Amino acid sequence: MPACQLDHITITTPALPEANSWVRRVLGVGAAPGGKHPAMGTENMLLRLGDATFLEIIAVDPYAPAPARPRWFALDTIGVESLASLATWVARTSDIAAAAAAAEPIAAPGAITPMARGERNWLITIPDDGSLPLGGVAPALIEWEPGPHPAAGMPDHGLSLVKLELCHPDARRVQALLDAIGMQGPVSAVRISERMQPFLRAHIGTPAGVRILG
């Protein structure tokens, strides 16, 4: 069985500054510039949530050419008037092929795709249409190149990811997915009404107490 751990949570937004203002209001500290993803035409900001966990804010890079394929994290569906949203999360593994195969029958994670930002390289699963599996409740799978985790080089503001709740009408399916990929760490499936859309709720420890993003 593969083994996965919570790597990072992802906020999507039409513009990085507005989303970062929201993060600052909730957590008391904002994210720092990350970099650009030439293959996707996107850019991000990053905030450490632990030794090997972080928060990512990601948006379309307005100065980059559009990629030849749909952008990841459903960014092509976000309008200029859209609000920032805790849209999905990413699970880390040392064997992305095994984890993707285990997830496939429950919630297909997408093709394993090489990706780069600056000097850092990794493999990540991306659906061909750029969508978010299970409405964002199913994670993208990531396998980093060998070396220190990206969070290790980020400023430490005393934040930690206490718990991530995956809220979905079919919580059994979500739990089956977590079991299939060998998910370890503070991630739980929460059942919500059939009338509700899936969403995430992140409980983040700060020096002023636990705050909730979602």
What structural domains and CATH numbers belong to the chain?
Answer: 4-213 (3.10.180.10)
pLDDT of residue 37: 96
pLDDT at 119: 86
Question: What pLDDT was estimated at residue 1?
Answer: 75
pLDDT for position 209:
98
Alpha carbon distance, N-terminus to C-terminus of the chain: 31
What is the per-residue pLDDT for 118?
87
Q: How far apart are CA 130 and CA 148, in angstroms?
A: 28
Residue 32 near residue 154, CB atoms below 8 Å = yes
CA distance 130 to 75: 8
| Tally of helices (H runs) and strands (E runs) in the chain | 3, 13
Digitized pLDDT (tens) for each residue of the chain, 214 residues in all: 799 999 999 999 999 999 999 999 999 999 999 999 999 999 999 999 999 999 999 999 999 999 999 999 999 999 999 999 999 999 999 999 999 999 999 999 999 999 998 889 999 999 999 999 999 999 999 999 999 999 999 999 999 999 999 999 999 999 999 999 999 999 999 999 999 999 999 999 999 999 999 9
Residues 163, 37: Cα–Cα separation, whole Å: 28
